[in-house]
Amino acid sequence: MRSAQRVFNVAILIFAVAALLLPTTVTAASPEYGNNAEVGEYLSINGIEMYYETYGDGEPLVLIHGSGQSIADMSAQISHFAPRYQVIVADSRAHGKSGMTEEQMTYKIMAADWVALIKHLQLPPVRLVGWSDGGNISLEIARTYPDSVDRLAVMGANLSPDRSAVHGWAVDWVTDFSQEIDRQIAAGNNDQNWAALKQQFYLLRELPDMSLAELASIKAPVLVMAGDKDIIREEHTVLIYQTLAKAHLAIFPGETHFTPATDPDLFNATVERFMGGTYHRPESKTFIFGDSGESH
């Protein structure tokens, strides 16, 4: 059996890897994303203070980070998209500078937070880019608040937390570290924000629980992305793609769940191509029979 310290070290490694592997294009001259006093603001919503920052002008593009992350983990995306879009980034509840309540957060609650921010900023239907848990939040927004979304790109999203969707080693890790969190809280340890970690790991362990019928109700165009060695099983990513009415699929070769940080050029270029212009779903038969591809 792995020791508690081993489990803790693995958890911290995985939570920190995206930040550690941020690309060299984010230089010291760049704004301190996630801690930028010139643009940072708080919004009181749904019982919390939600911290957010905005950059650039143009059509609104909302970036949603993953579990255990914060605005800073989307630095490579902020720098890339801010020259062309109005980029809105925030710390999800129980993450970064945003607050939390004693009520267990869910993707539905987090989606409501993000939509409240979108409405507060009086934005037209937005483009969403969600990574990991941010992808799950994005799918929930598109399903529950369709009028708020123009299109969305999700990286490493899943519909359930079990072994049908997530590789077994990750399921085991979440279970192990959830138990370690409970031990630390029982011991009164305050060297980490264990209460926030408990809520974050509840999400990883118990949610999401979106059915295929609920997923199929999403009408906005969706770019479904994953690494070919992702935490999410590749067949599950393909299932998400196949269930959506309007979707493109991108499986990044030689990449992992952390592609937005480890290969931001590839990730950003793929997202940018999807976000620009009109959604188009060509068919191979078009090139054989001469029929026009379907467009929306």
Q: What tokens appear for 177 in the block?
A: 């570290």
- If we measure between CA atoms, which residue out of 157, 50, 197, 155 comes closest to residue 112? 50
Listed range (12-26, 75-89, 114-128, 134-148) with the worst mean pLDDT:
12-26
Q: Which residue(s) pair with 214 in the sheet?
A: none
Q: Which CATH class is domain 4-257?
A: alpha beta
- Which residue in the block uniquely carries the two structure tokens 């309007």? 246
Where would I find the H helices in 3-132? 4-20, 75-81, 107-120
Give per-residue pLDDT as tens, 122-165.
Answer: 999 999 999 999 999 999 999 999 999 999 999 999 999 999 99
Q: How far apart are CA 276 and CA 268, in angstroms?
A: 12
Residue 277's pLDDT band, with cuts at 50, 70 and 90, is confident
What are the domain boundaries of the chain? 4-257
Q: What tokens appear for 160 in the block?
A: 């359930």
Helix axes of 4-20 and 168-186: crossing angle, nearest 10 degrees: 110
Q: Is the pLDDT of residue 24 over 70?
A: no
Listed range (6-20, 95-109, 216-230, 240-254) with the worst mean pLDDT:
6-20
Q: Is the pLDDT of residue 281 over 60?
A: yes
